[in-house]
């Protein structure tokens, strides 16, 4: 579609057809876009044609079996793909403020299942009018535009934004089911680990989580040549701990994640003097659009109280060089 400069509009375009444009541009396919939007393909096509007439230039090159963005279309897509999520997020916030009070947070699956969810019952009991939604995913969401209020994240201090609040750090320590120790060989010194199956993450040696490996723990304590009875690998921390709970071996666990299991005796720490420091910590990040809502403040206060209890359980000493909110 070609237009002369005299046909270019000067007034702002109407926004009604931008969602159809974004869907077609994302799929580069009118049929897929129409299915997503629950419209007929001809209806989507008419919306795109109307938008092109308003803009004054062609936005797509239409081939026999494919659709391609023009340079003008690519320029418009960049703006639309940034603006529509912000608009949608604002509308959700408005709807939310007019309806039920709710807290939406994102965190990684192991932390959700091993630390957060077991503690949520208390918050729900004390705050029955607040709904909770947990997005358990390893994907890092942008709190500026995502449909979540806060994030609970895991990483070294240098990877966190300045306003992140450190909840607690971590140490790594061998843990095991007590009945495995009763029925199996003794585990009173590091060398005894050679008689057990050892559990760890299957991809830890190839990823940025190498400090979570048994090999690093062996090197740290001077047993670099130690070999276990066998290895047992899993993808996620909660799977590794579950295997230890059922007596399948010894896991090098993140102490904050198993603190409750140690406290109630489901797991035991056979080598308490052999803990290893980790460079990682757990952080709270609150989205700028959500920070002042009363339910967010209530949930953050509850999180800080729970974090204080975890720090006490794992014996964490405050570090004045961090941005901790320690007491």
Q: Secondary structure of the chain in the HEC alphabet?
A: CCCCHHHCCCCCCCCCCHHHHHHHHHHCCHHHHHHHHCCCHHHHHHHHHHHHHHHCCCCEEECCCCEEECHHHHHHHHHHHHHHHHHHHHHHHHHHHHCCEEEEEEECHHHHHHHHHHHHHHHHHHCCCEEEEEEECCCCCCCCCCCCCEEEEEECHHHCCCCCEEEEEEEEEEEECHHHHHHCCCCCCHHHHHHCEEEEECCHHHCCCHHHCHHHHHHHCCCCCCCCCEEEEECCHHHHHHHHHCCCCEEEEEHHHHHHHHHCCCCECCCHHHCEEEEEEEEEEECCCCCCCHHHHHHHHHHHHHHHHHHHHHCCCCCCCCCECCC
Beta pairing class for 276-286 and 165-175? antiparallel
Q: State the average pLDDT over residues 277-299.
A: 91
Q: Are residues 146 and 83 in the same domain?
A: no
Cα three-residue angle 34-37-39, rounded to 5 degrees: 55
Q: Are residues 91 and 233 in the same domain?
A: no
Of 69, 96, 123, the residue at which a domain comes to its end is: 96
Q: State the average pLDDT over residues 158-165.
A: 91
Would you state the structure tokens that stand for residue 74, as one six-digit string? Answer: 């690519």
pLDDT in tens, 9-58: 556 676 778 888 988 999 998 888 888 888 888 888 999 999 998 888 99
Q: What pLDDT score does 324 carry? A: 45
Q: What pLDDT score does 148 carry? A: 84
Q: Are residues 15 and 89 in the same domain?
A: yes
Would you say residue 327 lies in a domain? no
CATH of the domain at 10: 1.10.10.10
Residue-number span of the structural domain to which 310 is assigned:
100-163+280-314
Contact criterion met (CB below 8 Å) for 292 and 298: no
Q: What pLDDT score does 143 carry? A: 66
Would you say residue 154 lies in a domain? yes
Would you say residue 321 lies in a domain? no
Of 64, 96, 128, the residue at which a domain comes to its end is: 96
Would you say residue 323 lies in a domain? no
The pTM score is: 0.66
Would you say residue 261 lies in a domain? yes
Q: What pLDDT score does 76 carry? A: 93
Contact criterion met (CB below 8 Å) for 291 and 144: no
Q: Are residues 114 and 194 in the same domain?
A: no
Q: Are residues 174 and 275 in the same domain?
A: yes
What CA–CA distance (Å, rounded) separates 253 from 236? 11
Range with the poorest average pLDDT among 1-5, 11-15, 243-247, 300-304: 1-5
Q: What pLDDT score does 245 carry? A: 95
Would you say residue 324 lies in a domain? no
Residue 184 has pLDDT above 60, yes or no: yes
Q: Are residues 297 and 273 in the same domain?
A: no
At 112, the pLDDT band (50, 70, 90 cuts) reads very high
Would you say residue 9 lies in a domain? yes
Residue 281 has pLDDT above 90, yes or no: yes
Q: Are residues 28 and 16 in the same domain?
A: yes
Of 66, 96, 126, the residue at which a domain comes to its end is: 96
Q: Are residues 37 and 62 in the same domain?
A: yes
pLDDT in tens, 189-231: 999 999 999 999 877 666 666 778 899 999 988 888 889 999 9
Q: Are residues 290 and 141 in the same domain?
A: yes
Q: What pLDDT score does 327 carry? A: 41
Q: Are residues 176 and 256 in the same domain?
A: yes
Q: What pLDDT score does 9 carry? A: 56
Q: Are residues 199 and 284 in the same domain?
A: no
Higher-scoring residue by pLDDT: 108, 140:
108
Share of the chain above pLDDT 70, in %: 86
Q: What pLDDT score does 86 carry? A: 81
Would you say residue 36 lies in a domain? yes
At 4, the pLDDT band (50, 70, 90 cuts) reads very low
Q: What pLDDT score does 210 carry? A: 75
Q: Are residues 286 and 157 in the same domain?
A: yes
What CA–CA distance (Å, rounded) separates 255 from 259? 6
Total domains present in the chain:
3
CATH of the domain at 255: 3.40.190.10
């Amino acid at each position: 579609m070609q237009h002369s400069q005299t046909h270019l509009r000067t007034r702002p375009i109407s926004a009604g057809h931008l969602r159809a444009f974004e869907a077609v541009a994302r799929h580069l396919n009118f049929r897929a876009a129409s299915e997503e939007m629950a419209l007929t393909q001809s209806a989507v096509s008419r919306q795109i044609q109307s938008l092109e007439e308003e803009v004054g230039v062609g936005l797509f090159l239409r081939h026999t079996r494919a659709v391609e963005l023009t340079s003008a279309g690519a320029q418009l897509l960049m703006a639309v793909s940034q603006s529509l999520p912000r608009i949608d997020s604002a509308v959700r916030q408005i709807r939310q403020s007019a309806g039920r009070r709710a807290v939406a947070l994102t965190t990684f699956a192991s932390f959700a299942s091993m630390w957060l969810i077991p503690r949520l019952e208390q918050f729900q009991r004390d705050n029955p009018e607040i709904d909770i939604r947990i997005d358990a995913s390893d994907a890092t969401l942008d709190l500026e535009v995502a449909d979540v209020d806060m994030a609970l994240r895991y990483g070294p201090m240098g990877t966190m934004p300045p306003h992140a609040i450190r909840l607690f750090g971590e140490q790594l320590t061998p843990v095991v089911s007590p009945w495995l120790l009763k029925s199996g060989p003794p585990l009173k010194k590091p060398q005894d680990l050679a008689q057990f199956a050892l559990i760890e993450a299957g991809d830890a040696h190839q990823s940025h989580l190498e400090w979570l490996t048994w090999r690093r723990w062996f090197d740290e304590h001077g047993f670099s040549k130690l070999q276990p009875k066998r290895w047992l690998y899993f993808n996620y921390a909660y799977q590794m701990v579950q295997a230890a709970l059922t007596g399948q071996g010894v896991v090098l666990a993140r102490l904050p994640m198993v603190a409750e299991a140690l406290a109630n005796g489901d797991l035991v720490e056979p080598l308490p003097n052999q803990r290893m420091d980790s460079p990682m910590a757990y952080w709270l990040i609150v989205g700028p659009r959500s920070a002042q809502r009363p339910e967010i403040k209530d949930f953050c206060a509850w999180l800080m109280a729970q974090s204080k209890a975890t720090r006490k359980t794992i014996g964490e000493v405050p570090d004045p060089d961090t941005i901790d909110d320690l007491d």
